[in-house]
Amino acid sequence: MARRTAIIDIGSNSARLVIFEKSSHYGFHLICEQKSKVRIGQGAYEKEGYLQPIGIERAFLALQSFINTIQKYRVHKTVCVATSALRDAPNGRQFTQWIKKELNLSIRIIDGKQEARFGAIAVNNLLPLDSAVTIDIGGGSSDMALIEKGQIVDTFSLNLGTVRLKELFFDKECPVEESHTKAREFIRKELSRLPEHFRHSFAVGIGGTARTLSKGIMKRSGHPLDKLHAFTYEVDKWSAYFANIPLSSAKGLKKFNLKKNRYDTIREGTLIFQEILACIGAQKVISSAVGVREGVFLEQMLRNEGHRFPKDINPSVISILDRFHPLTKLERRNRGKLKIASRLYTVMQQEIGDAKKYETQLNWALRLSYIGKILNIYSSHQTAFFIAIQELNYGFTHEEIVLISSLLRMHGKELLFPPLIEQYATLLPPIQTLSWLSFIYTLTIFLHENSHSAQIDFTYRDQTLTITSDQPLYLAKEKIKKLEKPIPFAIIIKDRNKIPSNRILGL
């Protein structure tokens, strides 16, 4: 696959460009993102679907700018897809032919089921889920996919979009309540087409409407992590919030903590989202910052893997390790840390008693433990925290992201960093559990950094942790002596220290 790939997504409301750079077979990251609110479908729904000059002109100028960006970034491959507005337009083919002639850009018009499939590929790989129904509300359609046990079982497209509803109902000169009632009837009639098996308690919100609502909920709830992707909320707790937005005036939307650039279609989008959630019986929503564009990219990247990352591969971690070598390159070859931590976690279970619940997150933190040293060895723990909290985007819950990042930050003789705990208290494990995880992480780092391929083992009896090693642990002893412990117990180190004899020096 090409090292740099550009994906352009032309929707009814916006056109977006993203450029991904591959760093290894499974590693990639976003290096550029641009967006233009082209509203290519503006006026089309009242003109039998025909694209109108005002939207066509904006789309051309946006695509022309995207091409300039693609050339600047020296992209190796470009894929452009178009969704509802173009597939519904009788003059859509003429538009794509014109763009090909003038800009040398090939546009692939995809149907609603394919659009839903691309979104499902993205969330199936980049969100921590196993089964769910995806909901991608666009300007002209709402596209859904059913995921069961990591497999995309079915897709469906509804003729429900924010721009479509806005032009058919909300742009009319009539009271908001009347527009709301007519739009709701229209939505429910269209939802009657949705197959019965599209029912699930867990929904994935994809697209601008779902993102805007999630950001509003994050602000209102005081969510401590400023990251949309994988943010989760209970539907019941926010049902009144959803119900009031469509009934609001444009000026009244300010009180809902919504982005101003979404005011023009958020009432329509919220009404659609609310009705779909009720129809499928959703109880919980997980927010997605990925969708069609990432799905198009991953379909090509993972074409030989059945469009799924292998079970033990996390693309965010791989990408970080790829970009922060050479130290991390050496670390990837050395699994000694993970073995040390696993043995220690097992031995201390009689005190911790959590059935190694957090071993996976502990292992991810250990794999990333060197990333801060690439930039600054003296503040490496702070640097590692900031890198992780920003770059651990895919495949983790917010709780996992904060725990992994916090372990990287708290490495030192003190087990806990109070300002961090105060800020992220609602996302972190209980203090005692966190203390134990920090102890295991820190002790593992001390032992691993100050030994070379040593065989290290542990026993724990009568409030005494005994560490045995077939090699010297001299430097580790000094650090371990100062290390804070979660509860009072003794640490004994039995290592092999053989000092060569020298009569002159009195040895």
**Burial class, 130, CB count within 10 angstroms (exposed 0-12 / middle 13-18 / buried 19+):** exposed
HEC readout, 473-492? CHHHHHHHHHCCCCCCCEEE
Residues of the chain with CATH 3.30.420.150: 113-291
List the beta strands (DSSP E) in 282-367: 284-287
Distance between CA 30 and CA 132 in Å, rounded?
A: 26
CB atoms within 10 A of CB 53: 8
Q: Is 489 left (phi over 0), alpha (psi -120 to 50) or beta?
A: beta
CA neighbours closer than 13 Å in the CB half-sphere of residue 339: 9
Residue 88 has phi, psi (to 5 degrees) of: -85, -15
Distance between CA 441 and CA 366 in Å, rounded?
A: 7
| Contact present, 33 and 69 (Cβ < 8 Å) | no
pTM reported for the whole predicted model: 0.92
First to last CA, the chain: 63
Q: Residue 23 carries which DSSP code?
A: -
How are strands ordered across the β-sheet holding 4-10? Answer: 28-36, 15-22, 4-10, 77-82, 107-109
Residues of the chain with CATH 3.30.420.40: 4-109
> Which of 492, 479, 320, 336 is closest to 411 using CA atoms?
479
| Contact present, 279 and 216 (Cβ < 8 Å) | no
Residues of the chain with CATH 1.10.3210.10: 315-494
Distance between CA 361 and CA 399 in Å, rounded?
A: 10
Q: Residue 500 carries which DSSP code?
A: P
Distance between CA 376 and CA 395 in Å, rounded?
A: 28
CA neighbours closer than 13 Å in the CB half-sphere of residue 230: 21
> Which of 468, 467, 463, 505 is closest to 485 using CA atoms?
463
**Within its chain, how far is the Cα of 286 from the centroid?**
10
SS3 432: helix
Return the structure tokens found at 214.
């999630």
Distance between CA 50 and CA 408 in Å, rounded?
A: 55
SS3 123: helix
Distance between CA 100 and CA 123 in Å, rounded?
A: 31
Sign of torsion over alpha carbons 119, 122, 125, 126: negative
> In CATH, what number does 4-109 get?
3.30.420.40
| Contact present, 290 and 122 (Cβ < 8 Å) | yes
Question: 132-137 and 202-206: which strand pairing?
Answer: parallel
Q: What is the full per-residue pLDDT of the chain (507 aa) written as tens digits?
A: 789 999 999 988 899 999 999 999 999 999 999 999 998 988 877 788 899 999 999 999 999 999 999 999 999 999 999 998 899 899 999 999 999 999 999 999 999 999 999 999 999 999 999 999 999 999 889 999 999 999 999 999 999 999 889 888 877 777 878 888 999 999 999 999 999 999 999 999 999 999 999 999 999 999 999 999 999 999 999 999 999 999 998 889 999 999 888 898 999 999 999 999 999 999 999 999 999 999 999 999 999 999 999 998 999 999 998 888 755 555 555 578 899 999 999 999 999 999 999 999 999 999 999 888 877 777 888 999 999 999 999 999 999 999 999 999 987 778 999 999 999 999 999 999 999 999 999 999 999 988 777 899 999 999 999 999 998 998 899 899 999 999 999 999 999 888 888 889 887
Q: Is the peptide bond before 500 cis (omega within 30 degrees of 0)?
A: no
Question: 142-148 and 232-234: which strand pairing?
Answer: unpaired
Q: Is 73 left (phi over 0), alpha (psi -120 to 50) or beta?
A: alpha
Distance between CA 395 and CA 407 in Å, rounded?
A: 18
Return the structure tokens found at 470.
């077939």
CB atoms within 10 A of CB 147: 23
Yes or no: domain 315-494 corresponds to CATH 3.40.50.970: no
Yes or no: domain 113-291 corresponds to CATH 3.30.420.150: yes
Return the structure tokens found at 499.
């000092």
